[in-house]
Amino acid sequence: MNRGGASLLAGVAVADITPPVGGSLAGYAARVSASTGVHDRLLTSAVAVSDGTTTSVVISADLIALDPDTTRRIARDLRERTGIPEEGVAVAVTHTHAGPAVTRGGIGGVADPRYVEDTCSRIVGAAAAALDALAPAVLRRGCGSLHGVAHNRRGGTLTDPAVPVVRLERADGEPLATVFSHACHPVTLGPDNLRLTADWPGYARRHVAAALGGVAVFLQGCCGQLNTGHTALDSLRGAETRPGRTFEAAQRIGTLVGEAALAAVLTTGTEAVAGPVSVSATRVELPLGDPLAPDELRALAVDRDGPWAGWAVAQLADPGPESVEVQVAVHRWGGVPLVFLPCEPFVELALELRAALGDPGLLVAGYTGGVPGYLPYPETHYAAGGYEIDEAHRAYGLRAAFTPDAGRRVLAAAGTLAGEAP
């Protein structure tokens, strides 16, 4: 058991959230066809960790995004069902681009409200099942490294090679859960793919689970501008087949990430991590920039072959809110911090947090607590422009990109929470 401190309890559960075939696929503005089949099932995984006083619940779902109010609803529904405080629930997505449309913005598809309702219920059910399964457990921590999978699509070589791992076992050594992370967009399959899939994170999970047993849980890193080697403009182009964007490539990438996670398990040592469980969260208001002028919107609206005509028509009717409220959270399992950031955070956010906290193995997950748009950081990215600055907000149904100080606001909130004593 743990070396002093509070003894840990842990539980894990998995639910299937695969939608019916024939619905909208999210992820590419150029893809307008409905899904035609299921390559691999989409899952939601929930891990609950408690010291008997405080409980953390971390959920990961094979979805491209969730609206912030949807994640808050999931946390509220879980509280009403189990009594767990809402701030103790972190709802993340893997960001697969071959799953169903689930957000108001659509990101390339139209959400089916019945599917969203059912999926939220299944997510809450998995979290409740993980809480019901709480039993004595030990925790071990490690961090692997992987170069060459993620590429910086905005130019340069900056990526995040870290593969942080948190391993949970029963007191007798029985494997319970392996929680791991890496920062890279799951866009191996392009706009031409019409089959539902978790992309490379699904392959990585299956690889880890097959080797270690228990449940493998993947948390997406801060990969706003990192992907598997394609330009952002590919999402706006026609859906012709692109060489290399295959399920075989997704399996290769997933296996590489899985192998890096397995290597990290070897560095976790034999001693279990000791310490209490704590959760802290805060909400941050992210202002949006000014909307386009009406004449610019009308020019986009009449271009029926353009990718943003529908967005422009909607903007002319209602430009939407001037800001979006998001949640930043830090959970500590046995004293080990896990940082949860909203939106599609740029990689610099994770790198700067690790450097500031002196923790190179810190697990920093993005895409948690709602994904209303990209979160560029540092502010110099705005002067360079590009898809994430100039156009991506349209896929999310926003009037404009977040203002340049948005990333700094989130970084400051995360640094404050992570620096607080547990």
Task: Report whether pLDDT(197) > 60.
Answer: yes
Task: Report whether pLDDT(406) > 60.
Answer: yes
The pTM of this model reads 0.95
Task: Report whether pLDDT(149) > 70.
Answer: yes
DSSP 162-225: EEEEEEEEETTS-EEEEEEEE-----SS-TT--EE---HHHHHHHHHHHHH-SEEEEEE-S-TT
Task: Report whether pLDDT(174) > 50.
Answer: yes
On the question of a cis peptide bond just before residue 319, with omega within 30 degrees of 0, the verdict is: no
- Asked whether residue 329 is domain-assigned, the answer is yes
- Asked whether residue 73 is domain-assigned, the answer is no
d(CA 208, CA 264) in angstroms, rounded, equals 11
pLDDT tens digits along 103-118: 987 676 789 999 999 9
User: Which has more pLDDT, 254 or 173?
Assistant: 254
- Asked whether residue 306 is domain-assigned, the answer is yes
Give the number of residues written for the chain: 422
- Split into its structural domains, the chain has a count of 1
- Asked whether residue 83 is domain-assigned, the answer is no
Q: Give residue 351's Cα distance to chain centre.
A: 17
d(CA 255, CA 287) in angstroms, rounded, equals 39
Give the residue-averaged pLDDT of 378-396: 95
User: Which has more pLDDT, 32 or 225?
Assistant: 225
Task: Report whether pLDDT(384) > 80.
Answer: yes
pLDDT, residue 63, reads 98
Residues whose CB falls within 8 Å of the CB of residue 209, separated by 6 or more in sequence, listed in order: 178, 215, 216
Q: Which residue has the tokens 């002067």?
A: 383
pLDDT, residue 128, reads 98
* Structural domain that includes position 334: 278-419
pLDDT tens digits along 312-330: 999 999 999 999 999 999 9
User: Which has more pLDDT, 274 or 224?
Assistant: 224
Task: Report whether pLDDT(20) > 80.
Answer: yes
Give the residue-averaged pLDDT of 141-151: 96
- Asked whether residue 17 is domain-assigned, the answer is no
- Pair 95, 371: CB distance under 8 Å: yes
Instruction: For residue 263, report the phi and psi dihedrals to the nearest 5 degrees.
Output: -65, -35
- Asked whether residue 170 is domain-assigned, the answer is no
d(CA 123, CA 13) in angstroms, rounded, equals 10
- Asked whether residue 314 is domain-assigned, the answer is yes
- Asked whether residue 2 is domain-assigned, the answer is no
Spatial CA neighbour of 410 closest among 370, 359, 361, 358: 370
Give the residue-averaged pLDDT of 363-378: 97
Mean pLDDT of the chain: 93
The SS3 of residue 271 is coil
Q: Band of the pLDDT at 273, cuts 50, 70, 90? A: confident
pLDDT, residue 3, reads 34
Give the residue-averaged pLDDT of 368-379: 97
